[in-house]
Structure 1
Amino acid sequence: MNTFENIITRRSTKKYLDKEVSQELLEKIIETGRYAPSGGNSQSNHFLVIQNKQIIAHLVKMVEKAFSQMEITENMYRSLQNSINLSKKGGYVFCYNAPVLIIVANKKDYGNNQADCALALENMMLEANDLDLGSCYINQLK
């Protein structure tokens, strides 16, 4: 698949198969994230891969609890408002039951942390698409 085709065919996946992703494919995806540009070439992103279903379920509960305690504000974007409302009702699953979570993190006080993480994630989502794997960008967690 060429670059243009990869970019225009990538979509956010919100339904996943209950199927393990191989170590080889995960390493390819992470490697593309490592090659993303970063402010000042800091290369300070950290990559955390979670495949353990119990840990993912625990994270889902933690996120739902935190979101259920949030208040909706005037300038909040719609998907975050929807997530808060779903959390208050119960049953909010921020990761759409994906079998793998890849968290890209950076230094909290680094001024370019969100941009650097987003660049890495875009590379990784394009690689996942090229490998016929679904992905979804979730930027509601800090």
Structure 2
Amino acid sequence: TRRSTRKFKAQPVELEKLKQIVEAGQFGPTGGNAQSNHFFVISDASVIAKLKELVQSAFAAMELREDLYKSLKNSITLARKGNYSFCYTAPVLIVVANKKEYGNNMADVACAVENMMLAANELDLGSC
């Protein structure tokens, strides 16, 4: 029943629910049991606004090429117009990071994120 939510309520998410979601991410599989994911929970509106600004700036600076997939082209175009928001109206973000030089970093992060999205759905919360 999980779906990608692109319009969120302004109300904060309960701390207990956030803990459950992050814990689900921590239980995600990792290559060689590396367990090197880091989880950052961001609920400060000014920090989210700054992140939106930085991400929009990064997308706006990207080269718009014909061989890019549709959603990336759309993100670049919106960013150049000043209309890009990667987090929509979410009151909280959970950023998962891993070591840049670790060869399985994206797969490990992807597993954690999917676990968290399923956990959020189970808690009647939207995610994207």
State whether structure 2 residue 12 is matched by structure 1 residue 20: yes
Once the 2 structures are TM-superposed, how far is the Cα of residue 74 of structure 1 from its aligned partner? 3.5
State whether structure 2 residue 24 is matched by structure 1 residue 32: yes
- C-alpha distance in structure 2 between counterparts of 1:119 and 1:89, whole Å: 33
Select between 61-70 and 50-59 the one with higher mean Cα deviation: 61-70
Runs of 4+ with deviation above 6 angstroms? none
TM-score (structure 2 length as normaliser): 0.97
State whether structure 2 residue 58 is matched by structure 1 residue 62: no
Residue ranges of structure 1 left out of the alignment (5+ in a row): 1-8, 137-142
Once the 2 structures are TM-superposed, how far is the Cα of residue 127 of structure 1 from its aligned partner? 0.3
- C-alpha distance in structure 2 between counterparts of 1:45 and 1:65, whole Å: 26
- C-alpha distance in structure 1 between counterparts of 2:66 and 2:80, whole Å: 18
Which of 38, 45, 51 pairs up with 1:53?
45
Once the 2 structures are TM-superposed, how far is the Cα of residue 107 of structure 1 from its aligned partner? 0.2
State whether structure 2 residue 75 is matched by structure 1 residue 83: yes
Once the 2 structures are TM-superposed, how far is the Cα of residue 73 of structure 1 from its aligned partner? 2.5
- 1:66-105: CA deviations, max 9, x gaps? 1111112233221111000001111211111211100000
- Tell me the residue number matched to 2:87: 95
Code of the residue aligned with 1:106 in structure 2: it is: N
Residue ranges of structure 2 left out of the alignment (5+ in a row): none
Code of the residue aligned with 2:77 in structure 1: it is: N
Once the 2 structures are TM-superposed, how far is the Cα of residue 58 of structure 1 from its aligned partner? 0.7
Q: CA RMSD in A?
A: 0.8
TM-score (structure 1 length as normaliser): 0.88
- Tell me the residue number matched to 1:5: none
Percent of aligned pairs sharing the same letter: 59
- Tell me the residue number matched to 2:123: 131
